[in-house]
Amino acid sequence: MSELKYQKIARTIVKAGFLPFPINNTMLKLLKLLIDEEQLDFILAFKNKSSQTMEELIKNSKMAEDEIKIHIKKLAKKGFLFDQPNSKGVMVYRLMPLIMVGAFEYTFMKKISFNEEEKEIAQLFAQLFNEVAKFIQKNYETVLPLFQRMPPFDRTVPLLDKNINGKEIQIMVNKEIEVPEDKIMTTQKVEEIIEKFDDIAVGHCFCRHHQDLLLNPCKQTDLRENCFTFGKSARFVVEQGFGRIISKDEALSILKLSENDGLVHKAWHPHSDISKHETSICNCCKCCCGIFDWWRRGTTAMINSTNFISVIDKSKCIGCGTCMEKCPVDAIEGDDNNKAERNAEWCIGCGVCAHYCPENAISLLESPRKVFIPPPRLRT
């Protein structure tokens, strides 16, 4: 009986997200580790609606409010339930998916101890991601249109700090871009994003923690505690023990260290709506970031919002290949003369190439757009 219920909650949890996860033995084994049997009936109350008020939960779960509160407390601690008030002050309980943003992120956002349970959970997530990649590749033609209709997962906020030569990365204003008066301009500096919020929390990078548990530590940075959340997301993270509240000054110090290591700032917005305030900022490396990794493995498309594009001055380029090596999305290759050449359709405008260029040959140009790169078609 419980096996059937785990299959049902698996479908309910997958429905709460947007990636087409297959319901298989790996997922069921993972859910059995993360969710107790006593919580299954309560989760099934979300099968038709992933966000509900207490009144709705009482009706749909047929449980008393006191019993519901016990389940809410346990599931929130595991990152499967988000319990914060909406803009009108009404408490809303939202079932979280496995990833983007859900149980995976919250599970590994905490400080890890490298115990056997953490290692097993990390291995199961890795196995599940590999199986999702095979599923996507097998159903590539069917799934691709779904990716094409999706909004951007995240928004790149470029590195605007000094590069390794101590020179400012040049930002060029594209005067040909006409911005309507009613157009909401997104914040382009991480410093300005930090200044907008009173509640700021920092947790550990879940992607790097995941790779640490897989004995595949990051090759780019030793930083771990540099994943930011803001506002009610920050309050949730702190209440559930996934992170800690920090001051604006400490947040800026951590961001400075992240920029020094050439990490990509990626802002997340509610429902991918960039007109709304940011909920979080990831500081991503090329080797561990889930978005970058899942794209390379053929698991998902790269769907990004950016306001910039890199511009290469070939008269200054010496063909050292640094930008090609550092670009997180492999958007730069060498031309016939071994000079750097940028693929405009792939560039996410992060500024990492300009940050590392020893000749100061790369700048950023305003170019608001959606970047869509299909998952690579791999041989299976």
Distance set, CA 303 to CA 148, 156, 163 (Å) = 9, 11, 27
Distance (Å, rounded) from C-alpha 119 to C-alpha 138? 29
* Residue 283 and residue 255 in contact, taking contact as beta carbons nearer than 8 Å: yes
User: How much is the mean pLDDT over the chain?
Assistant: 90
Confidence of residue 171 (pLDDT cuts 50, 70, 90): low
Distance CA(97)–CA(80), nearest Å, equals: 7
Q: What is the mean pLDDT of residues 128-133?
A: 94
**Domain limits of the chain?**
2-143, 144-373
Topology of domain 2-143, CATH: Arc Repressor Mutant, subunit A (1.10.10)
Confidence class of residue 137 from pLDDT cuts 50, 70 and 90? very high
Instruction: Answer for the pair 156, 349: CB distance below 8 angstroms, yes or no.
Output: yes
Residue 339 CB neighbours (<10 A): 16
Residue 274 pLDDT grade (very low, low, confident, very high; cuts 50, 70, 90)? confident
User: How far is it, in rounded angstroms, from Cα 346 to Cα 326?
Assistant: 14
Q: Is the pLDDT of residue 324 over 90?
A: yes
What value does the mean pLDDT take over residues 13-19? Answer: 89
Q: What share of the chain is helix, strand, coil (3-state, %, to 5)?
A: 40, 20, 40
Least confident of 61-65, 163-167, 227-231, 338-342: 163-167
d(CA 287, CA 191): 25
Of the pLDDT bands very low, low, confident and very high (cuts 50, 70, 90), residue 188 is low
- In this structure, which amino acid lies at residue 37? E
- The torsion angles phi and psi of 106, rounded to 5 degrees, stand at -70, -35
Contact 310, 342 (CB under 8 A): yes
Residue 1: which pLDDT band, with cuts at 50, 70 and 90? low
Note the pTM of the prediction, 2 decimals: 0.90
Over residues 174-190, mean pLDDT = 52
